[in-house]
Structure 1
């Protein structure tokens, strides 16, 4: 009988108490084995070289060399999947987003500050994210972000039952997709763009949102799986880098063309009609869907009831299958172009894979081509 090889975990935290607590989460775990601990970034770099872990958990805020500085060096010298542990302060949220940009795979928010005596509250989440990170190919880590690519540059996009458009060595897809109906898709009709993503999403969103021109003739709704406190930092960061306006969605926001509304952590993002306009509804009453609030499925299903606009639905990197059920609702009730991120560029090919398996996806594109693919269907 073959013995399952466990993934090796290095725990990095300046608190001995936290190192012990996190290590204890993985005692007798069937898939993960803690092979060591490090007290700061410098120590982590040495231990990574010596112990060659498959995955690392790392505190953001540490003395001598903090998590951000260490992460930069790790990605240059010894790339390995890293899950960050962060405080929920404004500074902690901003630093966590920088860590995502530097190549961290995911993060977990500590429930109560640097030394969290109640860390057990996030035990299941941390264990799940470490297992997920341990399966990620090193080749997927720390690819440089290519932002603001000209919209008219060649695309790598595959279209249903047709030849590739403007190809640069596009591989044929195993799944057959429904043909896009040119009759039902009129460029002149009103549009809304819906984007859902999870693990690896902050970097993917930066790739996509920064390439959408200010003249885009539609509002954009975004669900990124993130806890409360982090979505505002993400929206601010994207707004600084983008031509369009990006904001954390607020109750009652009237949708404007050229503005992206990011669902705040802890709230489902929905719409309601106000006269001839649409307003944001933030819902905390509906329970999480598949463990997520905000949920991509909830957003897609809610928007599917409105026939006032055609929808462009985009599903990008992430674990699980959030978005695939909502995609069925969208396709059953209106004109929808569905775009999935390719397996080649996803940090985790979970959500896009589930979407592709519905047989309702129209286009598959690498993350750096998704903005062009969206714009192809815009007036």
Structure 2
């Protein structure tokens, strides 16, 4: 049984979350708390394996509670958050402080029912995660160590870097994007599994403040430029198209692939067609198999692929699937992936 603590200031939400989780059969709610202060106390006393936590609460809010818990005894935490602009900022801050994932905060009984499957799936997935990795990521936060490369690229060379991630991705992306130099001779495309809403624009804004690269949420039909990182909007697929020597981004509301949208594999299908042997792709963290088949196509096109190592990965599912598919050239700790991207770019630039 997965021992879980539910934290919410609403008695209705506490009861609903408990009923949803215990309906799974393999999840036991061992305690409830109505504010962050109680959450910290019960986390220390009850030693739950997963915490499901509201953001806005009296006495101590969810953000302060996450920080306190992760500073003492790290436990995988899922946040309840709205997908408003404010809610997205709070969710991003919670992930920065150590929460591993979030779900949309239900606003009524009908939405509670819709959230049941997602909540159960996420509790099961982060139960197998390593919250100490989040502490490690926070301890090794980016401190300005931009990695400069020795470029010798032909003027018209077309280079692309793709980064795929899911659960645990926002913290992992902070270890990579800010370390890439502003004069990168390539465009960067980030596929982070997220639902539709404001989260990805908030994530892009935060990464942009930390980076020499320009980081932005991708827009439909915009022209692709070197030295810019484009993050796929939540709830949409991102494709890359090239016509008349101009590369543009296509944002589409299609069908989910591997039950996710945006999907790494959907982006890779068009990415590899545009960049071919000048493709570099890395898979970071998350459950499932998204990216495995696409990365194999990149490798078969003489592009280069990197996977995050298990010991620095929040959830090893996606990298593991890509490795087992024979789709990965190099496995690296998260902190060494920026150097590997730069090294691969140098090799590809100087080979042309």
TM-score of the two chains, using structure 2 as the length reference: 0.92
- Counterpart for residue 338 of structure 2: 371
| 1:355-370 correspondence to structure 2 within 5 Å | 355-370=322-337
The answer as to whether partners of 1:12 and 1:59 remain within 8 angstroms in 2 is: yes
CA distance in 1, matches of 2:259, 2:34: 32
The answer as to whether partners of 1:145 and 1:203 remain within 8 angstroms in 2 is: no
State the Cα distance separating 1:261 from its structure 2 match: 0.5
- Counterpart for residue 258 of structure 1: 227
| 1:1-379 correspondence to structure 2 within 5 Å | 6-112=1-107, 117-143=110-136, 144-147=139-142, 148-151=144-147, 188=154, 189-229=157-197, 230-284=199-253, 286-306=254-274, 310-332=278-300, 334-378=301-345, 379=349
Give the 3-state SS of the residue equivalent to 2:175 in structure 1: helix
CA distance in 2, matches of 1:280, 1:116: 39
* Deviation readout 1:141-180 (Å, 9 max, x if unpaired): 3222431325279xxxxxxxxxxxxxxxxxxxxxxxxxxx
State the Cα distance separating 1:340 from its structure 2 match: 0.5
Query: Structure 1: which 4+ aligned runs deviate by more than 4 Å?
Result: 186-189
5+ residue gaps, structure 2, are none
Corresponding pairs, count: 338
State the Cα distance separating 1:204 from its structure 2 match: 0.5
Alpha-carbon spacing, 1:137–1:303, altered in 2? closer, same or farther (3 Å): closer
The answer as to whether partners of 2:37 and 2:60 remain within 8 angstroms in 1 is: yes
Alpha-carbon spacing, 1:116–1:314, altered in 2? closer, same or farther (3 Å): farther
* Deviation readout 1:114-152 (Å, 9 max, x if unpaired): x66512212111111111122223432322243132527
* Deviation readout 1:24-71 (Å, 9 max, x if unpaired): 012253321001110000111111122111110001111111100111
Alpha-carbon spacing, 1:31–1:211, altered in 2? closer, same or farther (3 Å): same
State the Cα distance separating 1:362 from its structure 2 match: 1.1
CA distance in 2, matches of 1:372, 1:196: 17
CA distance in 2, matches of 1:105, 1:233: 17
More displaced, 265-274 or 144-153? 144-153
State the Cα distance separating 1:317 from its structure 2 match: 0.7
The answer as to whether partners of 1:324 and 1:354 remain within 8 angstroms in 2 is: yes
The answer as to whether partners of 2:283 and 2:307 remain within 8 angstroms in 1 is: yes
